Amino acid sequence: MNKDFLGDDLTSPHQPVLYNEILTALVPESGRKYLDCTLGAGGHAFGILERSSPFGQLLGLDLDPEAIKIAQSRLCTFSDRVHIRNVSYLDAKDVLRDIGWDKVDGVVMDLGVSSMQIDNAERGFSFQKDGALDMRFHPGMGISAADLVNNTDEQELANILWHYGEEKLSRRIASAIVKNRPVTRTVQLADIIRQVVRKHYTRIDPATRSFQALRIAVNKELVVLENALPELASLLNPGGRMAIISFHSLEDRIVKLFFKKESTNCICPPEQPVCNCAHQASIRVITHHPIQAGDLEIEANGRSRSAKLRIAERIL
């Protein structure tokens, strides 16, 4: 198998999704600067730094301190060409200023949870392994999933499961959770959900949608993404590209709508006869339909099955 297909290291705890597609999108060059908003284990970052040698630089951000440790080890050979910070991509502008950068030539985001987070039972992301019900990208920061399921009223809990997980049986699941409080372990929660959502209702594990919904709510993922996109786009030099991989329909919709709005000159309501918004397009959409993994990658890395890559280029 081609080494580039899944990244530089096939033994990595996290194989980067759509690796070649990201490198093709960003076209890394020596002397350019790049921002990896979701560094993870450093898979995409490794490829960008390798392709942009000898003088390309990369700033990698991640909320997960464990991911930071792995990425630092993996990327240490690039020495002063790589800068790594344990912060949210909401803080990207401040970090750029701190390291003396003004703009970047490429931005990459790989949204959602990584395989190394799922594989660590004590992080609380997996419904297949018993662990504390946590789900925070940065352990110790904010409320945990246990806090959420034990302190949220039944109606709000049902709304979370419906809105973020598109779970049709959200009300019944919320009712079952409330009746079985306190819920503190992942397997305990998964068993409660499975008693409500029988296997024949879905081809995936019955707990999948609810766990996804709780993770999104705990980390405020959609709110963070919506708030970050305008600022991240503003950090691009003209001709610089933004490449975003999403795994959830709500994430993909946010990216799609943002790209549509920022690539349009007028955003006045259709019924308004004269434009008075003064809005100017700042990006050009490269992918009018998202790029998805091929059969070979899906076979090698099941996580890539739901991945969607959208790309836009700065024009102003």
CATH code: domain of residue 264? 3.40.50.150
Which residue range is the domain that position 253 belongs to?
A: 3-115+221-314
Q: Is residue 124 part of a domain?
A: no
* CB-based contacts of 72-75 (< 8 A; 24+ apart in sequence): 74/9, 74/12, 74/41, 74/42, 74/46, 75/42, 75/45, 75/46, 75/49
The pLDDT of residue 303 is 83
Q: Is residue 125 part of a domain?
A: no
The pLDDT of residue 9 is 44
- Are 257 and 274 in the same domain? yes
Domain harbouring 186, CATH code: 1.10.150.170
Q: Is residue 256 part of a domain?
A: yes
3-class secondary-structure state, position 110: strand
Cβ–Cβ under 8 Å, residues 141 and 63: yes
Q: Is residue 121 part of a domain?
A: no
Q: Is residue 50 part of a domain?
A: yes
Given 219, 240, 272, the domain boundary residue is 219
Given 204, 219, 234, the domain boundary residue is 219
* Total of domains in the chain: 2
- Are 108 and 225 in the same domain? yes
Q: What are the tokens at 27?
A: 């076209």
Alpha carbons 245 and 18: distance in angstroms, whole number: 8
Cβ–Cβ under 8 Å, residues 235 and 94: no
- Are 183 and 233 in the same domain? no
Q: Is residue 66 part of a domain?
A: yes
Cα(first)–Cα(last) distance of the chain, in Å? 40
Given 196, 219, 242, the domain boundary residue is 219
- Are 9 and 80 in the same domain? yes
Q: What are the tokens at 315?
A: 């024009």
Please list the pLDDT of the chain residue by residue as tens digits (316 residues).
233 334 444 344 467 999 999 999 999 999 999 999 999 999 999 999 999 999 999 999 999 999 999 999 999 999 999 999 999 999 999 999 999 999 999 999 999 787 778 878 889 899 989 999 999 999 888 999 999 999 999 999 999 999 999 999 999 999 999 999 999 999 999 999 999 997 656 678 899 999 999 999 999 999 999 999 999 999 999 999 999 999 999 999 999 999 999 999 988 888 888 888 888 999 999 999 999 999 999 999 888 999 999 999 999 7
Q: Is residue 30 part of a domain?
A: yes
C-alpha dihedral (212, 291, 33, 85), degrees to nearest 10: 10
The pLDDT of residue 8 is 42
The pLDDT of residue 6 is 40
- Are 231 and 204 in the same domain? no
Cβ neighbours of residue 95 under 8 Å, at least 6 residues apart? 59, 61, 85, 87
- Are 178 and 206 in the same domain? yes
